[in-house]
């Protein structure tokens, strides 16, 4: 394993030394990658705004490579797994089982999972009825994986203004929110993710093409009706919506 000089700002907690260990599989909950290591150990990684992992048969020499695991694949061929993060907003932990579970339990239902149902959304929205819907969707303790552009796009495709108070969202509209979430996530994942300037890239360093599926976020015209998109600030985050499509 190799660590850069600035890795202290990224590696927040280290309960074990990963040298000599094996990563068996990788899962995800919300925005947190969970690399399962033998002996019930975990490497948890949050990519922040510009972080990404590279998988390579040769050593990764890309600028802003802060962590690099050097090992072999199942066929004993050389394999390198490197964390690249130009802005260093990402963070990771090397944790034992119990501590890793504490971090994972802080996250709510993953919005891409089968647990993300209309009944769940309705229940959670009723807990904080005065919150703006879009601000509530960004709360990772309830809606894990919902980022800023995703929340704007969900509201748009569900036909609900982001400023609507959560307590005013009907049960039927919660069905629309779940449907809209799939309409937002599925095309973007099929397009290799979504990349803004200096943002996400995949394990080969390729950028995603999901931006073509956006209907309101960073759009001047609504891609559903052609109307003018408005931008406001909610919870200190830029928020886009269509006054014609969203009520």
Model confidence over 27-66: pLDDT tens digits? Answer: 999 999 999 999 999 999 999 988 999 999 999 999 999 9
Cα distances (Å, whole numbers) of residue 232 to 110, 229, 244: 26, 10, 15
Assigned domain for 246 exists: no
Q: Tell whether 76 and 151 lie within a shared domain.
A: no
For residue 196, name the pLDDT band (cuts at 50, 70, 90): low
Q: Tell whether 95 and 159 lie within a shared domain.
A: no
Q: Tell whether 153 and 214 lie within a shared domain.
A: yes
For residue 94, name the pLDDT band (cuts at 50, 70, 90): very high
At residue 6, does pLDDT exceed 80?
no
Q: Tell whether 43 and 138 lie within a shared domain.
A: no
- What does the pLDDT read at residue 7? 86
For 117-131, what is each residue's pLDDT tens digit?
999 999 999 999 999
Percent above pLDDT 70 for the chain = 98
Are 192 and 206 spatial neighbours (Cβ–Cβ below 8 Å)? yes
**Domain final position from 62, 84, 105:** 105
Radius of gyration of the chain from its Cα atoms, rounded to whole angstroms? 20
Of the candidates 26, 82, 29, 86, which has an alpha carbon nearest to the alpha carbon of residue 59?
A: 82
Q: What is the DSSP letter of 132?
A: B
Please give the tally of structural domains in the chain. Answer: 2
Total-model pTM: 0.91
Percent above pLDDT 90 for the chain = 85
CATH assignment at residue 12:
3.20.190.10
Q: How far apart are CA 236 and CA 79, in angstroms?
A: 41
Assigned domain for 247 exists: no
Mean pLDDT rounded to a whole number for the chain:
94
Mean local confidence (pLDDT), 196-201 = 65
At residue 198, does pLDDT exceed 70?
no
For residue 197, name the pLDDT band (cuts at 50, 70, 90): low
Q: Tell whether 93 and 118 lie within a shared domain.
A: no
Assigned domain for 140 exists: yes
At residue 104, does pLDDT exceed 70?
yes
**Domain final position from 85, 105, 125:** 105
Residue position matching structure tokens 């229940």: 123
Assigned domain for 79 exists: yes
Q: Tell whether 117 and 223 lie within a shared domain.
A: yes
Cα distances (Å, whole numbers) of residue 231 to 85, 160, 219, 234: 29, 15, 9, 10
Domain limits for position 124: 113-241
Q: Tell whether 117 and 71 lie within a shared domain.
A: no
Assigned domain for 169 exists: yes
């Amino acid at each position: 394993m190799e660590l850069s000089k600035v890795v202290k700002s990224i590696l927040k907690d280290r309960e074990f030394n990963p040298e000599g260990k094996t990563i068996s599989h990788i899962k995800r909950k919300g925005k947190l990658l969970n690399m399962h290591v033998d002996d019930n150990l975990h490497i948890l990684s949050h990519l922040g705004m510009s972080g990404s992992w590279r998988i390579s048969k040769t050593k990764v020499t890309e600028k802003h490579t802060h962590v690099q695991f050097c090992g072999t694949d199942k066929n004993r061929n050389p394999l390198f797994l490197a964390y690249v993060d130009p802005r260093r907003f990402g963070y990771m932990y090397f944790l034992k089982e119990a501590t890793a579970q504490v971090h994972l339990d802080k996250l709510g239902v993953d919005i891409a999972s089968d647990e993300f149902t209309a009944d769940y959304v309705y229940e959670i929205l009723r807990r904080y009825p005065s919150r703006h819907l879009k601000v509530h969707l960004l709360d990772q303790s309830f809606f894990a994986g919902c980022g800023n552009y995703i929340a704007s796009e969900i509201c748009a495709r569900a036909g609900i203004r982001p400023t609507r108070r959560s307590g005013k969202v009907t049960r039927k509209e919660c069905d629309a929110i779940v449907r809209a979430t799939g309409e937002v996530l599925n095309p973007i994942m099929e397009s290799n993710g979504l990349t803004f300037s200096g943002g996400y890239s995949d394990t080969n360093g390729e950028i995603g093409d999901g931006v073509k599926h956006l209907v309101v976020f960073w759009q001047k015209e609504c891609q559903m009706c052609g109307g003018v998109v408005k931008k406001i600030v909610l919870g200190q985050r830029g928020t886009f919506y269509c006054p014609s499509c969203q009520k």
